[in-house]
Structure 1
Amino acid sequence: MNRPAGTGNGAALRNDTNPRPERSAAPFCVNRPGDGAGWRVPGPTPSARPEADAWSCPTRDARIGCAPPLPGKTTAVPGAEDRRRAGAATEAEKRSVVSDPQAPGGERLLLVSTNYAPEQAGIGPYATQLAEHWAAERDAEVHVLAGLPHYPAWRVDPAYRGRWRLVDERAGVLVHRRRHYVPARQSAVRRAAYEGSILGHGLLAPPRIARPDAVVAQVPSLAGGLLAARLARRHGVPFVPIVQDLMGAAAAQSGIAGGGRVAALASGVERRMLAGATLVGVIHESFRERVRALGVPAERVRLVPNWSHVTPPTRPRAHTRARLGWPPGQTVLLHSGNMGLKQGLDVLIDAARLAPELRVVLMGDGSCRAQLAERAASLPNVDLLPPADEAEFPEILAAADALLVTQRASVLDMSVPSKLTSYFVAARPVIASVAGNGGTAQELRRSAGGRLVPPEDPAALVAAARELVADPVEADAIGARGAAYAATHLSRAAGLTRISALLDEALAAHAPARVRTARPALPPRGAPA
């Protein structure tokens, strides 16, 4: 389950409600309202004083600036770590220098991704690992423009409710969060309002940072791609979208209410957004033709597959099954992830009704969860579990007998479920109830890690499950092939290296070197404050 930001993950929170200068000579201060219940900053609790006494900032961090205190609130005095970091700023940061954009330690990168940690499903983990990789391996100054954590529940994480703007510091990355509308149920109108609120708040309050070297976007959301394109144009730097999904195709294929009316409009916006890209990354071959159809020349499209973002399981399967209440002799079919329209999860409820000896487990959250729970209320062999936390997730996957991917019959090539890479790592056979000519089917055939059945066909799904139960040795071999495929082709290191190569190519194509404001040099950790 989602963790509140700032607890147990090295995150520090800054209130970003008030505007701040991009490059301020003001002291470095962190404005934390005294009534911010639920927010905790790692380390010693900072003392709080009345506003008149507390606003004392002898040092600064030129990247973040200084926010005035809120009227009537208390403000935390900067701690030793703040003073240490801020005190390292020198006159050198004010000078313009020639910087090789490919030289480690000389980069300032902006990633635009509506989804980010602490979200543990969908695009969020990929965006998080990418940004943290840049900060650690490239020694870059990394900023992320993100929304408030809300996926897959489609409810704002309680720890972030009531926040309009804030900066969340996680693993060396500054995450600039902007509040937006989150629809509890999906329709074309609600989705448009969701995207519009992301776009509007991002345009109204873009991150207050110095000029980045490049802007990278995770697409979707569509609004995030538009924001990234605009920011890249504003700064005159490369724009690199990574296409995880296409909203036009999604609207047409997902079955969302009113989707047919907005598909053409969304595709038109995508066409315009992608036209300004320096290079375009796609996560699967099935996206190449779609992107080309939107006007992107083939020579500007690069393949950057997603990777397995979970660790392999380590505990005995029997231990996890016993803890979950799954008897040794019962066959457990598990679906994990978003419970939305395009997943077509009704087929699993129908399969459970056809085969009472099978236990069907739906783990996750989403806009269709309530309807699924209502349909399954009379079925004792259907369980709905909340999303698992990061440590438990791979163990629960490995404890199942087979792992399920389902999509509506209308879903052809608009997306490749991110859950598939995690399933392979769990070393259990996959049963995919999807269209035979889409990206998911292609990936399953390539890996030889599962069985493919027609979409929205519960009888075929039950037959595949019974076939695996009848031959447990073959089932284990299928799972092992999936794990081997993930280790060979879907490693985190390989995936991150591909995207870094894409970024380097875009930087080199845009300009070999340019002049920008240098970021401040910081002393080593542990240096005296």
Structure 2
Amino acid sequence: MSQRDSSIRRSDELERPEVCLLSLHYPPEPTGNAPYSGSLAAGLAAGGYQVTALVAHPHYPEWKIYDGYGGWRRDEDRDGVQVQRRLHYVPQPPRGVRRLVSELSFGTRTVGARWGTPDVVIALSPALFSTAMAVVRLRFGRRRPPLIVWVQDIYSLGLAETGQGGGFVQKVTRLVEKRTFTAADRVVVIHQRFADFATKELGIPQEKIDVVRNWTHLPPSDPVDAETAKVKLGWPTDAFLAVHSGNMGAKQGLENIVDAARLADERNAPVRFILVGEGSERRRLEEYAQGVSRLTFVDPLDDQDFRLALSAADVLIVNEKPGVSAMAVPSKLTSYFDAARPVVAATDPGGITASEVEAADAGTVVPAGEAFALLEAVLAMSADVEAATRYGQNGRLHREKFLDEGQAIANWQRIIDEVRNAPSRNALAE
């Protein structure tokens, strides 16, 4: 390479904005926040940004470091992103103080790592407490690149709605959340209700908040009919399949599905429930489901079989614990809508999940924790093929119109460029 060519390449690299992404979760984790952190990083890299992702070793939703990973530090190139993995404490079970220590250990690793010279830092919450530690580093560091906090869950709402932690813990968490959001140059949330909460309850100025919806991260694929998908997976073809996929944690309240399957046994109903995935509550759920014949647990699937599982479903279920209504937007909904299958949502009728399903006209909503109502909704869907087909098609249209990955990445590029080029930021730098 000539000296001129070398200097041109260095010049091109200098012109590319540098982004540092801090995220506890990252691919190959298949569910939760990881698909979004990974696709954002890859999308920015494809758009000409230099992206470094400082992340943990994959461990979710099993809460166990995946085979082939581990070690104090591991660096890799993934989809054009420089991925730096750091070992942190993975709790078993991931509750209470153990969960907090896990976040703090990841925060310690990220604060002590070399971030390079990013033009913008993006910190994903959860994990809230490691994000708060990043705020402290930025505040007292020599360089102070702008910070964007990307909010996937509202911690303080989560503690209140799931009944975890006492009043003191909830107050401390709310204070940390408020100060972390306040310290950020921009706060990106995934739903308008999150934006409203941040403004009204945490006092974050509305002009500091952007709403960027989570998108369907699954690559385009040709549709597969349900019967073909069932045969390929070895699933029953003589019953109506109601499938729930994703994390099996506290906020999902999946005892409700076990109870619905038990009722189906008692009534000899022509339906089978399938729970696909892993999580902190799976072992307890399996014990609770002993003797229930119309319920099957399936381990996490790779991308190809996951698509088949969604296609094999006659109806897809989203289930939430009673009281959970505003803390999070289930990431599974984007994949559910993409699959063009009808949805039954067992959740708070006034919550975010219900509003999403109703806005898409993609299925029906029943109250959380009412197993009889869940079973009745599934059986009603099996009896009305026309309605089920219409709901599935509506969900797919909603995904195409509102949950497009390309549009979401473009919004992120706009926000990053606005933050790094803000006049007040430039004046401070001078």
- Asked if 1:287 is matched to 2:194, the reply is yes
Separation of aligned partners in 1, 2:258 and 2:16 = 54
- Asked if 1:147 is matched to 2:56, the reply is yes
**1:178 match:** 86
Separation of aligned partners in 1, 2:323 and 2:22 = 29
Conserved? CA contact 1:215–1:231, under 8 Å: no
Conserved? CA contact 1:214–1:232, under 8 Å: no
Give CA deviations for 1:213-258 in whole Å, capped at 9, x if unaligned: 01111111113322442454332221111111022222222244x3
Equivalence map 1:100-499=2 (5 Å): 105-137=15-47, 139-161=48-70, 163-203=71-111, 205-206=112-113, 208-233=114-139, 234=141, 235-256=143-164, 258=165, 260-292=167-199, 293-314=201-222, 315-356=224-265, 357=269, 358-499=271-412
1:437 alignment partner AA: G
Give CA deviations for 1:340-371 in whole Å, capped at 9, x if unaligned: 00100000000001113321100000000101
CA distance 1:212–1:335, shift in 2 (3 Å): same
- Once the two structures are TM-superposed, the CA of residue 173 in structure 1 deviates from its matched residue by 0.8
- Once the two structures are TM-superposed, the CA of residue 506 in structure 1 deviates from its matched residue by 1.4
Moved more, 323-332 or 422-431: 323-332
Separation of aligned partners in 1, 2:324 and 2:235 = 32
Count of residue pairs brought into register by the alignment: 418
Highest relative contact order (Cα 8 Å, sep 6+), 1 or 2?
Answer: 1
Separation of aligned partners in 2, 1:216 and 1:318 = 43
Alpha-carbon RMSD? 2.3
Conserved? CA contact 2:257–2:273, under 8 Å: yes
Separation of aligned partners in 2, 1:359 and 1:159 = 35
Moved more, 261-270 or 107-116: 261-270
Separation of aligned partners in 2, 1:446 and 1:300 = 26
Unpaired runs of 5+ residues, structure 1, are: 1-83, 517-529
Determine which structure has more spread, i.e. the larger CA radius of gyration: 1
2:410 alignment partner AA: T
CA distance 1:385–1:104, shift in 2 (3 Å): farther
Q: Which structure shows the higher helix fraction? A: 2
> SS at 1:392's partner residue?
helix
> SS at 1:240's partner residue?
strand
Separation of aligned partners in 2, 1:424 and 1:164 = 39
Separation of aligned partners in 1, 2:328 and 2:84 = 27
Conserved? CA contact 2:128–2:155, under 8 Å: yes
- Once the two structures are TM-superposed, the CA of residue 90 in structure 1 deviates from its matched residue by 6.3
Give CA deviations for 1:377-414 in whole Å, capped at 9, x if unaligned: 21121111111111221221011011111111121201
Percent of aligned positions that are identical: 36
> SS at 1:142's partner residue?
strand
Unpaired runs of 5+ residues, structure 2, are: none
1:220 alignment partner AA: P
In the superposition, the TM-score normalised over structure 2's length comes to: 0.92
> SS at 2:316's partner residue?
strand
CA distance 1:380–1:444, shift in 2 (3 Å): same
> SS at 1:174's partner residue?
strand
Give CA deviations for 1:58-105 in whole Å, capped at 9, x if unaligned: xxxxxxxxxxxxxxxxxxxxxxxxxx9xxx976996xxx9x9xxx994
In the superposition, the TM-score normalised over structure 1's length comes to: 0.75
1:328 alignment partner AA: T
Equivalence map 1:14-163=2 (5 Å): 105-137=15-47, 139-161=48-70, 163=71
